[in-house]
Amino acid sequence: MTILRQKMINAMKLRGFSKSTQDSYIMAIARMAGFYKEAPDKISKEKVQAYLLQLWDTKKLSWSSCNVVVSALRFFYVQVLGLEETRLWIPPRKVESKLPEILSKEEVERLLSALVNPKHRTLLMTTYAGGLRVSEVVKLQVKDIDSQRMTIRVKQGKGRKDRYTILSKSLLIQLRDYWKIYRPAVHLFPGKDLNYPLSRFSACLIYHKAKSKAGITKEGGIHSLRHAFATHMLEAGVDLRTIQLMMGHSSIRSTMRYLHVSSKHMSSIRSPLDLLDLPYSKQLQ
């Protein structure tokens, strides 16, 4: 490991960055260095800009992927190399806001019904029933399931915060049947090596295979189940504050965006056109 890489890792650790963020930032800098075959601290500002342009224009990376690269570069040049923010040559990116395509209840039923493997089905049922992120569901331990209080404890979720979410009765029945088959000792969903949890990549792959088998064409990966949880809870009449706490959103604004995708909320709103007294045209014979 180079001294520069270790310096960057130490800087991220001191700021409490998660392991996944550290890996993403290191990978972003390493790929740029590999692209130019130069040490990253020797790459000119013109080359940095050219690299970003080819990511956006040539490789057509998504906004979220580009944003990770930009954030990594900003951190590297400002926090690690000590470049002043006012001299930073990386242009700011506009925040892109997209609403997710929400799975209907019928589509979730088809998705879960398409799974034959009990472990795979229980994994996706748990993700949906608790509104969990993929990083959270794979890290669950057997002791996190509290059947007395009917809660699931999520340890060190996004922002390194613990929280509780609901444990549904249907999921509890499924979990008990699952436990009788697999007898997990520590990790609720262990990988091939029972000492380690299932990887996020494996969980995502399970979702995409089930989605394909169910004939679902809507965009989105396993995080779609978390979106569906929030939307379906909102449509069932659960208040935004409760949903915010269960999902672990630091701001209520993150939860409020589900108002934009809730079919129940949208159907209850009257268009101003409906308030006008207009004569209807007769059909042409």
User: Which positions are catalytic?
Assistant: 133, 158, 223, 226, 249, 258
Indicate the SS3 state at residue 96. coil
Query: What's the CA gap between 175 and 118, in Å, rounded?
Result: 9
Query: What's the CA gap between 247 and 163, in Å, rounded?
Result: 8
Residues 117, 96 contacting (CB under 8 angstroms): no
Minimal CA–CA distance to 147: which of 122, 124, 123, 172?
A: 172
Residue with tokens 């090596």: 193
Structure tokens at 236: 């069932």
Rg (CA), the chain: 23
Residues 52, 77 contacting (CB under 8 angstroms): no
Q: Which amino acid is at 145?
A: I
Q: What are phi and psi of 138, to 5 degrees?
A: -75, -20
| DSSP 8-state assignment for residue 259 | G
- 209: number of CA atoms within 13 Å, CB side? 12
Structure tokens at 63: 């906004």
| DSSP secondary structure, 100-134, as one string | PPPPPHHHHHHHHHT--SHHHHHHHHHHHHHT--H
